[in-house]
Each structure stands twice: as structure tokens, then as C-alpha cells.
Amino acid sequence: MPPNLTKPNSGFTSKPSPLCTFVSLIILLIIGFYTLHYPPGNPKKVLRFQQIFLSSASNSTIASYLRSLTSHPHLAGTKPSLETIHYVKTHFQNLGLETHTVPFQTLLSYPVHASVSMHFGNGTVLNLPLNEMGIPSYPSSGLIQPYHAFSPSGTVHGKVVFANHGREDDYRTLGLMGANVNGCIVIVRKGGGLSRGAVVKIAEKKGALGVLMYAEGDVSKGSFGSGVERGTVMEGVGDPLTPGWGADEDGERLKLEDKKVLERFPGIPSLPLPFESAQLILDSLGGPLAPQEWRDSGRSNLSHVGSGLVMVNFTYQGEKKLATIYNVVAVIRGLEEPDRYVLMGNHRDAWTYGAVDPNSGTATLLDIARRYALLMRKGWNPRRTIIFCSWDAEEFGMIGSTEWVEQNLVNLGAKAVAYLNVDCAVQGPGFFAGATPQLDNLIFEVTKKVQDQDSEVVATIYEKWKTMNGNNIQRLSGVDSDFAPFLQHAGVPSVDIYYGRDFPVYHTAFDSFNWMINNADPFFWRHVAVAGVWGLLGLRLANDPVLPLDYLSYAKQLQEYKDSFSRVLDGNISLSPLAASIQEFTFAAKQANEETKKLMEQEFTNDLLALKVRALNDRLMLAERGFLDTDGIKGREWFKHLIYGPRSNYESGLEFFPGISDAMAESKNMSQKDGHAAIKHEIWRVARAIQRAAAALKGELV
């Protein structure tokens, strides 16, 4: 509720008469009756508030938010980040929203010193630049030098071998050429679908001493192609000292030398390089000729893979220390179902200025909050509670959101309807969406109501999106934003939306307000479009009497996944358990859709009907939790979701059923009998998860 802006009228301070009290009671009873039985969700009123929301968009307002948020670098755990926290918190408070900060004390990682030098046979030494060119002095600008968070400190000296993207397949290619990375420094270019941590882990397994990593950038973008891509190399998500529980200041912590903690970090140092410095090393390589495919791809001028006569000395010294991070949470209480939560989140911390990543999303979230507050002043209240979440320390490994999810796991499991995530709201042209499948149709409906500002003719986002990639909705198997803990650990239906596939200043010092206005979104109309979709998704999920979750889309997707595996699996391995469970799930989804249709055709005229709606909504909300397994994914047990989650076998290209995918890869190193048994076990685990989801959707005990 907004704060009291006027003093109470003294004329109303005297004791009311009995008649006045009686009349007031009758009025309250009538209001209560109509609130319960005729909730403010009738179609005309709902459409009116949606229209007010869309018409109150302001590109200049979003631009002003972004300019303020990106006025200085704000890496998590540093003093400048406190100003950004205050800005976001004050914004929510000024709107009259119930706002608080949630502190956690977590392990973070910062650079102390780094150097890379080339040592030639004639005794000369060339020290390579490690920072972006054309950027003001790092200390005075507040920028922290490029580094890999959680890289171990160390100094290595050796010859260099180029390993393309650092994938297992790339090392096999090197082996066939007679190039050996054991005892060498590996240089790789970003790409190939692997995380930084996975690249370093594979190199360590191959015997490399250290890893130098560069991004090729886009030569057409001028100096932006010289950016240095920062990032984390820690495995998994969340604070490594508090795995599975929230990192309270006075809570339990593992020791830094604990085996579980050390397993999260690589054993060899790594460092990002500017493209120009990487090219100097590539030019010095001898050894076998690089494969034509490697030479033709990317911007690098590559001839040989190494090693050569030139030695490289590489030093990195970092500091791991406890730091306090702050999530900012603002709440709009639901009127009819305050114990059901629709969560809308974006992370706030950035490696540098963060205009794209992540504060294009932050500015958009602040504008949605502004518009929701406007609706409240016009008489709107959501049926369910809306929670705005501004996460901290995402760049270090989704730490802020993960600690919050772990701390609130029971309540989220019982009460969370959906989590709507936006990380980089605008990276460039074109709308993209990722989601769990029961939210597909809602995304389609909402994008049909929001205009696409990139179109030369009047068109909706849905229409433009359809011509671009056929309204393809990606799935959320990656561990690359704050939806990961909500979906992959807590089983909350999730969405992730954005404009633009990639951008050349990712995690570099060039990710600034100037780059945004000169390249990605000069007039901030794409920001307005994202806010329209994100905000309408929130309104629908918070206001619709029956939750707009369609599990027939999920059933169809599961069937497609089964068919994909049937094409790559050994014919002696049966998928019948999977087929049977998907059939059961499909039947439950059809029943739920039929029940939804019948209830939506009726008015809320009695308590029994309201209870039926509540019961159906609970089943729709809880069905996603059925895909969780208490044992988690083998080798990555924190990740509980058996349909969507990280996999170790990136070469299969299958971004679903991670346990089955991993078992298939591991079976190659087993006897046929043991390999088949491992795959069959994972098939049964997934089948049981789908059965649990079907039972939750039906709401019946088996």
C-alpha cells in the first residue's frame, strides 16, 4: 500500500454511533461477499488494466533508469555495488511497495595481479596487454581488471598449444595430428557450447598447465572487438561454502579446504586475453597445420596449432574472501490468494557497467514495478502475490538467487506459481523466449498483444517472431541465469525472455550505456517491448482465476524427446517405461484442460466452485515439482530436475533428460551389459518422475 500522504481529518476521530457501526458492517460484508464470489478478474476489468499497463509504457523512463544504474561499475561485493542496491531499493520503496533486503555472506573471488609474457629464443621478452584498449585507467574508473573468478593462483611457464574451443572432440583432433597438450599452456577461443569452467576442467584432465581464453568479437564493431570477456570458472551454482542451505552470516560453513569446496574450483589457473594479445601468441605457434575448419572459422589468423619455439609465462594471483551480498525483494500482496507467489526476477550485479548484462533487465523490471504501482492507484490488486526480486552475485554463479531459493525452499515448493526471469533484456534485434512447456501458450497469447517496434509495418511480437524462427521457444536446460535454481532445484515453472541472440561487448568494459544507445536499442523501444511481454505474463499469472498452465504442451514435448532418444539408442534398450509414463501424463493433462474449460465457463457463485478452482490451481502449480528427484542428476546431485538440467555429455546435442544423456556417454567406457543397465536405470528414473508429475496433475494417490 502507498504511504499515508495526508493527515487524518479530526472530524472522524469521535466515537461512531451504533447505527453508523451497523451500516459500516453491512457494507463490509457486501464488499467481502463480492470480493470472494465475484473477484476483480472479470474480463472487461482485466482487459482494462492490461491496456492501462501497456499504454503507460515510457521508453525515456526506462532509459533514465538504465543511465543511473550504469553510471559506474558495480561488481558484487564491492563498495560501488552498494549504491546500485540503494537505487533499486529506494525505487521500490518510493512506489509504496513492501521492500526489504536479504543479505548473505558468501565466498567471492577477486584479482590481485596477473601477467602474461612471451619469451623468444633470442632472449627478448614481450609483455602482453591484458586490459581493454581505449578504456580509462582501471583504478580511476572503478573497473576491476579482467579475470576468471575462482581461478586458482599460480605461475606457469611452457609452450602453447591451440585447442580450438577446448572440447573433447577438439583434443581428439589434436591427438590425431600428433599434438600433445600435456605440460603445455592451452589457448582456446570461446564458443562451442562449453562453459569456461568446463573448458578449464577438460584442459586440466588432459595435463595442461593453464588455460588462456579469448573471445574473437566482431571485427565490424571496431574497438568493441577488443573487449576482454570476464567470467567465472566455478562449477555449479550458489555459495560453495554453503551447498544446499542459505549462506546466513552466522550460519554453518564448510572450510575452504574442504573436499566438497575444492571440487567446485579448477586445479589450474586460467585468464581471459584481449583478442590482439591472443593473436600474437597464435602467430608464434609452430607444429602441425591447423585443420582447415579451424582456420576458416572465426576471426583468428591461425596457421599452426603448436607448440612452437616461443615460451609463455603466465601468472595469476587472486583472492577468495567472504563478502556480503544483498538481494532486494519487493512485494505486492495478493487480494484473494496471498499465499500464492508469482516471482519476477533479474540480477543486478555486473562485471563492469552492465548496460546489457544485466541492467537492461533491471531497468525493465523497475519500469514494470512503476506501472503496476500505477494500476494499484487506479484500483487494481492482484489475485495472487507478486514478488519482484533483484538478485546479487549472479555473475559469480547465480549465488544470490540460489541462496534465496535454498533458504525458502519449502515455501517455494508449496506456494510458487512461476518464476519469470529476464537477464539481458536487450542485446540486439529479434525476440527470443525460453520456458518450461506448460507456459508456451501463455507466451504466444501475450506476444500477440505487444507491438514489435522493429517491424517496418505494424506487427505484434508474435508475428515478427514467427517470421524469424517460427515462434520457437527454447528450453531451460542451461545453467546460465537465475531461472536455474528455481526450475532445476525447486521445480518452479519458469520463463526467460530477451531481445537479441548475442552481443559483442559481453562481459567487457564496453558494455556501457553509450554502447546501448549507439547499437542495441537507441530509442529503448525494445526495452518497452520486453517490459510489455514480461509485465503481461506477470499480470496473467497473478490475476487469471484458473492458472494459464497448459500441460498438453508439456506432454507433446516429452513425446518428442522420447522419439529423439529412440533414434539414437541401441535397439536392445527399451523405452517402454518412458512411453507408458508419457501416455499417463498426456491423459492427466487432457483431464486438467477439460476441467479448466468447464470451470472457466461458470461464474464464481458459490464456495464449492471457488474451492474447485483452488484445488485445480494447486495441481497445475505442483505438477512441475513431480519432475524432481531427491537423488538429483548423477555427479551433479544439487540439480534435481530430470527433464531439464545440466549434462556432462555436451557432444550428444540432446538438451533434455540429462541423466539418460550422460549414461549413454558413460556407457561407451563400460561393458555392454553394464552400459545398458546404466541407461535403463536412468530411463526408469525419468519414467517415474513423469508418473509423479501425472499423479500431481490428477491430484490423486496411486
- In the three-class reduction of DSSP (H, G, I as helix; E, B as strand; rest coil), residue 180 is classed as coil
CB–CB of 616/589 below 8 Å? no
Other Cβ atoms closer than 10 A to 329: 21
Q: Which three three-digit cell numbers place residue 88?
A: 533499486
Give the DSSP H or E segment for 330: strand 311-332
Handedness of CA 386, 416, 400, 360 (dihedral sign): negative
**Nearest residue to 408 via CA among 496, 327, 335:** 327
CB–CB of 103/326 below 8 Å? yes
Indicate the residue type of 658.
P
Q: Which three three-digit cell numbers place residue 322?
A: 567472504
**Nearest residue to 326 via CA among 542, 142, 105:** 105
> Which residues have C-beta within 8 Å of that of residue 127, sequence separation ≥ 6?
115, 116, 117
**Nearest residue to 306 via CA among 96, 109, 162, 513:** 162
Crossing angle for the helix pair 79-94 and 59-69, to the nearest 10 degrees: 150
Is 394 considered catalytic here? Answer: yes
CB–CB of 270/518 below 8 Å? no
Active-site residue among 394, 395, 406, 666? 394
The single residue listed with the C-alpha cell 586490459 is 131
Phi, psi of 585 (to 5 degrees): -65, -40
Give the DSSP H or E segment for 65: helix 59-69
Give the DSSP H or E segment for 107: strand 98-119
Give the DSSP H or E segment for 519: none
Indicate the residue type of 310.
V
CA distance 316 to 398: 24
Please give the span between the terminal C-alpha atoms of the chain, in angstroms, as a whole number: 45
Q: 52: left (phi > 0), else alpha (psi -120 to 50), else beta?
A: alpha
> Which residues have C-beta within 8 Å of that of residue 171, sequence separation ≥ 6?
163, 181, 202, 206
The two counts, helices (H) then strands (E), for the chain are 23, 16
Q: Which three three-digit cell numbers place residue 384?
A: 495472487
CA distance 639 to 469: 30
Q: Which residues belong to the active site? A: 394
